[in-house]
Amino acid sequence: MPKPPGWEMMIVWYFFLGGIAGGAYFTAAIADNFGSARDGRVAKIGYLIALPLTALCGLLLTADLGMPTRFLNMMRTFKFWDPMSIGAWAVGIFGLFTFASSVLSFRGSPRAIALRRKVGLVGLFVGFFLASYTGVLLSATALPFWTDARLMGALFLASGASTGMAAISVVMFLTGGSGGPGWGKVKKADRYSMIVELIVLALFLALLGSAARPLTIGHFAPLFWGGLVGLGLIIPLALDLVGHRLKVMGAVSAVLVLVGGFVLRYVVVMSIQS
Amino acid sequence: MAKTLAMFTDTSLCIGCRACQVACKQWNELGAELPEWTGSYQNHHHFTDKTFRLVRFMEEPKPNGEMAWLLMSDVCKHCAQAGCLDACPTGAIHRTEFGTVNINQDICNGCRYCVAACPFGVVSFSHDTGRASKCTFCNDRIHNGLGPACAKACPTESIQFGFRDDLVKKAERRVETLKGMGFKDAQLYGADTKGFLGGLNAFFLLLSKPSTYNLPENPKLPQRNVLVDSLLSLGSALVVGLGALLAFRSRGEGDGDA
């Protein structure tokens, strides 16, 4: 019988923070390139969220290794069919993009802004990758439920998007920009992402059928239904739709989305390993 | 490449003496472990970082109602299409010139992806060394003209070592013999290179269906999922990206709530 790998809390945190970093970055890059000039603040916040989180991701991944001093051994090979191999490369490359975009966020010259947009336009693909490959990594194992989950990557991507956008909203709210330019757009984008996430989640469960049992019934079920589906998706969507003129409501909803994103990674990783 | 070497474990000859398990421990200097109660003479439940050969003790009811032992000395299958090898991001897991699969302990960094990628639950993480470990096919011995320690120690020739092609022929003859003796469920597991995982370089003769021995009936390569799942992720990225684009696209318009 297949063995669980013993990936626990550090990996749960990595999946969660990597999703936020990827999601915040591609949201920032889209705002930067396709929004109005006044959306620059969204872009800057997104880039600046992605940088420290990506650094933290690298630290978490290294610390979780059995031989942390050998983390560079991941760079000995490049296997395009192996999510762990490309993922290790992607974290490093994404770190470079978040660094460049963050540095350029402090420069106001038209040339720097133009460059930042171009960097973002390329980096957003790495951001999409980072937010989704962790799901494919789990499905490319021999373990039941993980290996049966055709939409794990798609679900992680939608969750990365919604949590990345939620993180941008929370930072905007805390730094006093909640009523300023971009707030409404980030919230709107987050609503779209949550709706996509709900649809993908429904398809995910439908395709899994009885293989979804570790999530849907048993020990982790209350957390899955209550923490992710209820508190993390349906309630924040309802709060947003009812009270989207109220900034506090928007911020509360964003915090709940973040909680839901963490619960998703937690139940997926831990339910078949405990 | 040299001719592929293989181990053929004929479970019909196994007497459950565990000489193979002990020989493996001795030769590979695998440390002692706390025993586990498994309800039979088997120890441990599964492969561990210190148990590379594991004699499984199964019980199956006979037609007359009595219980019969089914014994099987289990080991890493050294799959022709190995999930652990494809999963390894450092290149520590490699295929030798004899077709066996090995973990280079000087390269492994303990990421444990191989543990989750093995369809048989063979690869184990060692908390002592911080690395993954499994049967080496006695790499040191076979490079010096000796068979694996388990095969050498087996007193009934239940474990045989040799060139794969020769062993498969031998195994097929043995199945016919057993069927003639009335063992109607006698079958080979992993002998066929056109079958699952491209064939196993440690293959088995079983007296019952694979699931009786806790073996998957049709093990699959985990990496078969990568392409489809990546494309589905790409689809999700397009939808989400389009949503963000719609939300932010507003050149020349007002900013909604702003």
Smallest CA–CA distance, residue B52 to chain A, in Å, is 14
Contact B113 A137 (CB under 8 A): yes
Of B67, B71, B139, which is closest to residue B103 (Cα–Cα)?
A: B139
Contacts of A184 in chain B (CB under 8 A): 255-258
Asked if the C-beta of B190 comes within 8 angstroms of chain A's C-beta atoms, the answer is: no
* The two three-digit tokens of residue A257, written as one number: 């989305």
Give the type of residue at A103: V
A2, part of any domain: no
Which tens digits make up the pLDDT trace of A204-256?
A: 999 999 999 999 998 999 999 999 999 999 999 999 888 767 888 999 999 99
Task: List the single residue in B with minimal CA-CA distance to A24.
Answer: B244
Which tens digits make up the pLDDT trace of A173-182?
A: 999 855 567 8
Residue B164: C-alpha distances to residues A140, B169, B203 (Å): 29, 9, 9
pLDDT at A263 over 90: yes
Smallest CA–CA distance, residue B25 to chain A, in Å, is 21
pLDDT number for residue A178: 55
- Can you give the residue range of the structural domain that contains A248? 9-270
CATH of the domain at A75: 1.20.1630.10
Q: What does each of the 258 residues of chain B score in pLDDT, given as a tens digit?
A: 568 999 999 999 999 999 999 999 999 999 999 999 999 999 999 999 999 999 999 998 888 989 989 999 999 999 999 999 999 999 999 999 999 999 999 999 999 999 999 999 999 999 999 999 999 999 999 999 999 999 999 999 999 999 999 999 999 999 999 999 999 999 999 999 999 999 999 999 999 999 999 999 999 999 999 999 999 999 999 999 999 999 998 654 444 443
pLDDT number for residue B101: 98
For residues A108-113, average pLDDT: 94
- Report the share of chain A in percent with pLDDT over 90: 89
Residue B248: strand, helix, or coil: helix
A258, part of any domain: yes
Task: List the single residue in A with minimal CA-CA distance to B234.
Answer: A154
Residue A139: C-alpha distances to residues A181, A208, B63, B120, B224 (Å): 40, 12, 41, 16, 10
A33, part of any domain: yes
pLDDT number for residue A177: 58
Smallest CA–CA distance, residue A143 to chain B, in Å, is 6
Contact B256 A188 (CB under 8 A): yes
pLDDT at A167 over 80: yes
Contacts of A161 in chain B (CB under 8 A): 240, 243-244
Contact B90 A36 (CB under 8 A): no
Whole-number average pLDDT of chain A: 95
pLDDT number for residue B256: 41
Smallest CA–CA distance, residue A190 to chain B, in Å, is 8
d(CA A144, CA A138): 10
Contacts of A110 (CB under 8 A, 6+ apart): none
- The runs of H, that is alpha helices, within chain B are 19-27, 83-87, 113-117, 139-142, 149-153, 164-180, 226-248
Contacts of B110 in chain A (CB under 8 A): 65-67, 70
Task: List the single residue in A with minimal CA-CA distance to B256.
Answer: A184
A3, part of any domain: no
State pTM to two decimals: 0.95
Of B121, B225, B241, the CB nearest to A2: B121
A147, part of any domain: yes
Contacts of A133 in chain B (CB under 8 A): 230, 233
pLDDT number for residue B258: 36
What is the count of structural domains for chain A?
1
Which tens digits make up the pLDDT trace of A51-73?
A: 999 999 999 999 999 999 999 99
pLDDT number for residue B254: 45
**Chain A interface mutation, best of B84, B113, B224, B229, highest count of A Cβ atoms under 10 Å:** B229
pLDDT number for residue B189: 98
* The two three-digit tokens of residue B235, written as one number: 């689809």
Which tens digits make up the pLDDT trace of A74-88?
A: 999 999 999 999 999
Per the CB < 8 A criterion, the answer to whether B40 and B193 are in contact is no
A180, part of any domain: yes
Size of interface A-B (CB pairs under 8 A): 232
A4, part of any domain: no
Which tens digits make up the pLDDT trace of A122-152?
A: 999 999 999 999 999 999 999 999 999 999 9
- The runs of H, that is alpha helices, within chain A are 9-34, 40-64, 83-105, 110-139, 152-174, 183-208, 213-216, 221-222, 235-243, 247-270
Q: Provide ipTM, 2 decimals.
A: 0.95
